[in-house]
Amino acid sequence: MKMNRYLPAVLAALLLLCPAASRAQGLSFVFTNDTQSAAAGGTLAYAGTVSNTSGSTLFLTFDALSLTPASVATADDSVFFNNVTLPYLGGAPIALAQGASLLLPVFDVTIDPGASPGDLASGLFSIQADTSSDPGNPGTGFSTTDVPFTVIVTSAPLPPAAAAEPSTVGEMAIGGLGMIGMLLLRRSRPRRS
């Protein structure tokens, strides 16, 4: 009886502890790291593994990406577009054989320079695939369900390191030469017994 009362909480905890994954019929996607953090103004690179669980070869085609709020961070999926979508549209799609998996860079997130430490942004990502390699003659389409990801803003970026002024460097060099001269002078004098 008591077990039934705790079951929903235990199931919810297990879901939160599992890495974000999407498994739709025929295609699945798992982020390498679904929660990343950086300082304001920083950039994060997201990657993940897409797997073909269908009964035939699939050709990767498009993606869908959303991230909110835009005041915290913006997402750019041009890395996926350039490496997956353009080859598909150009007649040289990425083929994923039955049971095969592929690790892909999928998008970058840039944190707004005005974001505050502790700010969060959350988003959804999915990948589409088709049984046809011809965009003009689509076959059976497959898509991952939306996979969630999170962006966390850490402390503010550090200011650039201060460089020594030329006069300071010169003073240090003269001081170093003076110390070397003292040591040489001390060694050249005969010791008293």
Predicted local confidence at residue 142, as pLDDT: 82
pLDDT tens digits, residue range 103-136?
999 999 999 999 999 999 999 999 999 888 888 8
How many structural domains does the chain have?
1
> If residue 132 lies in a helix (H) or strand (E), which one and from where to where?
none
- The answer as to whether 136 is a domain residue is yes
Query: What CATH number does the domain containing 78 carry?
Result: 2.60.40.10
- The answer as to whether 29 is a domain residue is yes
- The answer as to whether 102 is a domain residue is yes
Predicted local confidence at residue 167, as pLDDT: 60
- The answer as to whether 44 is a domain residue is yes
Predicted local confidence at residue 16, as pLDDT: 35
- The answer as to whether 55 is a domain residue is yes
Whole-angstrom distance, CA of residue 115 vs CA of residue 132: 43
Peptide bond into 159 cis (omega under 30): no
67 neighbors 73 (Cβ within 8 angstroms) = yes
Q: Is the overall model pTM greater than 0.85, yes or no? A: no
Give the residue with greater pLDDT, 99 vs 177: 99
Count of alpha carbons within 13 Å of 174, Cβ hemisphere only? 6
Lowest model confidence (mean pLDDT) among 44-58, 64-78, 97-111, 172-186? 172-186
Query: Above 90 in pLDDT, residue 1?
Result: no
Q: Kindly give, in sequence order, each residue whose CB lies less than 8 Å from that of residue 2, ignoring residues fewer than 6 positions away.
A: none
- The answer as to whether 43 is a domain residue is yes
pLDDT tens digits, residue range 7-54?
344 333 333 333 444 444 688 999 999 999 999 999 999 999 999 998
* 176 three-class SS: helix
Count of alpha carbons within 13 Å of 192, Cβ hemisphere only? 0
Distances from the Cα of 68 to the Cαs of 47, 62, 159, in angstroms? 19, 21, 28
- The answer as to whether 160 is a domain residue is no
Give the residue with greater pLDDT, 93 vs 184: 93
> If residue 122 lies in a helix (H) or strand (E), which one and from where to where?
strand 120-130
108 neighbors 79 (Cβ within 8 angstroms) = yes
Predicted local confidence at residue 25, as pLDDT: 65
Query: Above 90 in pLDDT, residue 91?
Result: no
149 neighbors 108 (Cβ within 8 angstroms) = no
Whole-angstrom distance, CA of residue 6 vs CA of residue 10: 6
- Domain span at residue 46? 19-153
Task: Retrieve residue 42's tokens.
Answer: 């920083």
Q: Mean pLDDT of all residues in the chain?
A: 79
Query: Above 90 in pLDDT, residue 187?
Result: no
- The answer as to whether 6 is a domain residue is no
